[in-house]
């Protein structure tokens, strides 16, 4: 069964850092580009960042540019997201999502992990 499970969410202070993980199972992680998508409370979906199958190419949204590191360890079937210089507006559910071969969409999503930035 294809599954993505996020962890690492919690409460962090403004200016702080947080590292999220996404464990993949039921498929070969190295076959897929992977992404992070977030959703602020009561708001819509926002793409955050993506990383190619081999980790060599990364893309990030303008809202997090320079504050984010997306990485992966295919040997551990795990995707990571490190967000630095946290702001109140980073408060959101963070989902990891798999891109299928071909279409530029997200065919599998995790259940999400909540990040709350608060003083």
Partner 1 sequence: SYVLTQPPSVSVAPGQTATISCGGDKIGSKGVHWYQQEAGQAPVLVVYDDSDRPSGIPDRFSGSNSGNTATLTISRVEAEDEADYYCQVWDSDSDHWVFGGGTKVTVL
Instruction: List interacting residues with partner 1 (CB under 8 A).
Output: 35, 37, 44-47, 50, 59, 61-62, 95, 100, 103-107, 109-112
Nearer to partner 1, 47 or 82 (CB): 47
Nearer to partner 1, 57 or 85 (CB): 57
Least gap, CB of 36 to partner 1 (angstroms): 11
| Phi, psi of 62, rounded to the nearest 5 degrees | -60, -30
Please spell the DSSP secondary structure of 84-107, one letter per residue.
-S--GGG-EEEEEEEPPSSSSS--
Least gap, CB of 91 to partner 1 (angstroms): 17
Nearer to partner 1, 17 or 103 (CB): 103
Radius of gyration of the chain (CA): 13
CA 82, CA 16: separation in Å to the nearest integer? 11
């Amino acid at each position: 069964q294809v599954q993505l499970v996020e962890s690492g969410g919690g409460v962090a202070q403004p200016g702080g850092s947080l590292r999220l993980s996404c464990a993949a199972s039921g498929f070969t992680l190295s076959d897929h580009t992977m992404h992070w998508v977030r959703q602020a409370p009561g708001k819509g979906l926002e793409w955050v960042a993506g990383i190619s199958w081999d980790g060599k190419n990364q893309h990030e949204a303008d809202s997090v540019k320079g504050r984010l590191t997306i990485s992966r360890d295919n040997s551990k079937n795990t995707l990571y997201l490190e967000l630095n210089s946290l702001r109140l507006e980073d408060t959101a559910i963070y989902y990891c999502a798999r891109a299928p071969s071909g279409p530029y969409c997200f065919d599998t999503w995790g259940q999400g992990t909540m990040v709350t930035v608060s003083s």
